Amino acid sequence: MNILQLLLAFLQVGAFSIGGGYAAMPLIREQTVVLHPWLTAAEFADLVTIAEMTPGPIALNAATFVGMRVAGLPGALAATLGCVLPSIAIVSLLSWLYARCRTGKTMQTILGTLRPVVVALIASAAVTLIQTACTLSGGGFSLAGCLLMLGAFGLLQVRVKEKKFSPILVMALCGAAGVALHAMGWM
């Protein structure tokens, strides 16, 4: 019965946690601490910490952890499946609708309306990243941070023998440069 309960509990979490993993945490707490006595409040706090530290989506990590704790590997699979099934169903339905209606006037109007919103969201993220890169930890302007950011952007745009620099390599170089600049007192 625990496996079915895990599946149903995390189906609810997956279906109603709109807004990302942190939006799912109150729903996960409700399911795992209040409705089903699978975790204590202290254990839930530990769960949040572990789910944040583990690579991957926080809600999925939490579901897997709770499932493993309650019913071992079958429980982990049931909770994880419950968490992702609503998203899979919704994306599949939207994909099917898009494939059937993509050339229709209504779909083109919807997509045309969404384009400026997407551009605004990307621009907002870019502004936030630029502000973060060009600000010292104590406040104030960081010329070294701005130059490092511009250098990273430039490296990602350069092609060397028809190959671009790997983003992972650029991040590693920026991390090393940031540590060195911080050690010298420039950041």
Q: Torsion angle of alpha carbons 92, 93, 94, 99, nearest 10°?
A: 90
Span 37-65, average pLDDT: 90
Q: Are 61 and 139 contained in the same domain?
A: no
Q: Which domain holds residue 148?
A: 105-183
Could you give the number of structural domains in the chain? 2
Amino acid at 146: C
Whether 146 and 74 map to the same domain: the answer is no
pLDDT of amino acid 176:
94
- The answer for residues whose C-beta is within 8 angstroms of residue 149's C-beta and 6 or more apart is 129, 130, 133, 134
Q: Please report the pLDDT score of residue 133 as a whole number.
A: 84
Could you tell me if 115 and 60 lie in one domain? Answer: no
For 66, other C-beta atoms within 10 Å of its C-beta total 29
Task: Check residue 180 and give its pLDDT.
Answer: 92
Q: Which residues contact 187 (CB under 8 A, 6 or more apart)?
A: 136, 137, 142, 144, 145, 178, 181
Domain boundary among 101, 134, 156: 101
22 band by pLDDT with thresholds 50, 70 and 90: confident
Domain boundary among the residues 101, 134, 151 is at 101
149 and 134 within one domain: yes
Taking residues 101-123, what's their average pLDDT? 88
Work out the number of other CB atoms within 10 angstroms of the CB of residue 162: 5
Mean of pLDDT values over 115-132: 88
How does the average pLDDT of the chain come out, rounded? 89
Q: What is the pLDDT of residue 147?
A: 92
Express each pLDDT in 71-111 by its tens digit.
999 999 999 999 999 999 999 999 998 888 888 888 889 88
CB 29 within 8 A of CB 22: no
Clarify whether residues 46 and 60 are in a common domain: yes
The segment with the largest mean pLDDT, out of 37-46, 66-75, 100-109, is 66-75
> Are residues 85 and 111 located together in one domain of the fold?
no
Q: Are residues 93 and 112 in the same domain?
A: no
Residues 21 and 96 placed together within one structural domain of the fold:
yes
For residues 7 and 93, state if they share a domain. Answer: yes
